[in-house]
């Protein structure tokens, strides 16, 4: 199946804000208003359900909130009306996903219902979303009620000829970020001669390609785990509610944020390189959720980001004219000999070398699997392709 990108796609841009103290206070007020409104709306919905009444929608709750602003919620006049309004819309979405998962669970799927939970200050400053007149500049962004906020990264946000739909401001580790979805125009990919590769994802190496090259896995969580444990002990030893505990929590959050950023950067660079330089990439349809149930390897598997790798490669392939195919989970890419086709009955995870009992071939386990995936493409033995992806993909 050939993936083609649309001329207009919805793409997300996220970058860090460079705020002064007054702007940080204003953002914290907006985030607090959004959190309070979410919890208030959740209480109203639960109370209506317990009383046997019709559950109020986001529109109903917003009207009730506006009626109470002059008396009980006068402090909300200090923030934009969009922050509580969008929080109530998020609450409606949370309930919609809850009922969807309930139906899936009744149908036999192994999912958790996930009833919407109250938001707490202990989880961080939180986030809020704004709509309306939003304008991007080379080194700043203009937001309703907050004014022009400086960016730490210059020239990242789209400026000319782009309509910014909304802006979500979030905090993590005492650092503020803004995320904006924008409709951008992407030219049709040019059909040029590019090689086809099979790709085997792993833990020691992020990806092994059938041409012999590989992409290393930085294993950022493994290298930072000792520091994270030390910082976590520091948090647990501080008195709850004290300033020193808040400082320790911030140090721990910054470390987790660095781990996340390093992992995300590695995945983006790897998937962009593959989408730009290959005409087709063949992957295994891995059961990542099932693999995470192995408690001996769950932490290492989660540190790789296998599903995120596939998600990014799928939407980037449409942009650069690459095809992404999935081999069936039952396809024996690891047990099959790439030279003679002999399939082994079993192969332990500890066997890092593939030794064929029929022809005597000796090869790296991951490279042999990647070559089998490429041969699967060349023989057109792929039983199915990945699902259709909507034209709207978020980076």
Partnered with residue 243 across adjacent β-strands are: none
Partnered with residue 282 across adjacent β-strands are: 198, 325
Q: Token match 């891995």: residue?
A: 286
Q: Which two tokens stand for residue 159?
A: 């400026």
**Hey, which residues are catalytic here?**
200, 284, 366
Residue 245: its H or E element:
helix 243-277
Centroid of chain to Cα 39 = 25
Q: Which two tokens stand for residue 49?
A: 């359900």
Cα-based distances in Å from 84 to 30, 33, 66, 175:
8, 6, 10, 22
Residue among 343, 363, 346, 345 at smallest CA distance from 354: 363
Residue among 308, 228, 301, 323 at smallest CA distance from 267: 308
Residue 80: its H or E element:
none
Give the whole-angstrom CA distance, residue 395 versus residue 389. 14
Residue 235: its H or E element:
helix 220-237
Exposed, middle or buried, 3 (CB in 10 Å: 0-12/13-18/19+)?
buried
Rounded to the nearest 5°, which phi and psi values hold at 157?
Answer: -70, 140
Rounded to the nearest 5°, which phi and psi values hold at 281?
Answer: -125, 130
Rounded to the nearest 5°, which phi and psi values hold at 52?
Answer: 75, 20
- Contact yes or no for 121/35 (Cβ under 8 A): yes
């Amino acid at each position: 199946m050939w993936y083609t990108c649309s001329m207009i796609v919805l793409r997300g841009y996220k970058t860090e804000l460079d705020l002064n103290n007054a702007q940080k206070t204003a953002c914290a007020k907006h985030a607090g208003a959004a959190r309070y409104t979410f919890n208030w709306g959740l209480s109203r919905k639960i109370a209506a359900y317990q009383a046997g009444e019709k559950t109020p929608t986001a529109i109903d709750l917003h009207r009730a909130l506006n009626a109470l602003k002059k008396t009980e919620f006068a402090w909300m006049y200090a923030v934009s009306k969009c922050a509580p309004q969008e929080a109530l819309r998020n609450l409606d979405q949370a309930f919609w996903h809850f009922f969807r998962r309930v139906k899936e669970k009744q149908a036999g799927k192994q999912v958790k219902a996930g009833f919407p939970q109250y938001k707490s200050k202990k989880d961080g400053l939180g986030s809020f979303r704004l709509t309306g007149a939003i304008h991007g500049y080379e080194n700043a962004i203009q937001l309703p009620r907050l004014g022009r906020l400086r960016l730490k990264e210059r020239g990242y946000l789209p400026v000319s000829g782009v309509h910014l739909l909304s802006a979500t401001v979030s905090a993590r580790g005492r650092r503020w970020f803004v995320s904006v979805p924008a409709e951008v125009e992407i030219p049709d990919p040019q059909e040029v001669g590019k090689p086809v590769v099979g790709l085997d994802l792993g833990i020691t190496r992020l990806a092994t390609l059938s041409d012999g090259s590989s992409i290393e896995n930085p294993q950022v969580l493994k290298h930072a785990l000792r520091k994270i444990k030390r910082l976590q002990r520091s948090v647990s030893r501080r008195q709850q509610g004290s300033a020193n505990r808040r400082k320790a929590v911030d140090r721990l959050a910054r470390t987790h944020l660095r781990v996340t950023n390093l992992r995300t950067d590695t995945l983006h660079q790897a998937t962009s390189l593959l989408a730009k330089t290959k005409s087709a990439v063949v992957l295994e349809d891995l059961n990542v959720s099932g693999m995470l149930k192995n408690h001996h390897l769950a932490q290492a598997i989660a540190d790789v980001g296998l599903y995120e790798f596939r998600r990014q490669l799928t939407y980037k392939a449409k942009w650069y004219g690459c095809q992404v195919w999935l081999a069936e989970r039952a396809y024996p890419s690891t047990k099959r000999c790439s030279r003679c086709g002999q399939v082994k009955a079993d192969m332990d995870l500890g066997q890092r070398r593939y030794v064929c009992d029929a022809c005597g071939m000796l090869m790296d386990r991951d490279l042999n699997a990647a070559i089998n995936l490429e041969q699967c493409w060349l023989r057109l033995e792929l039983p199915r392709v990945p699902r259709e992806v909507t034209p709207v993909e978020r980076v």
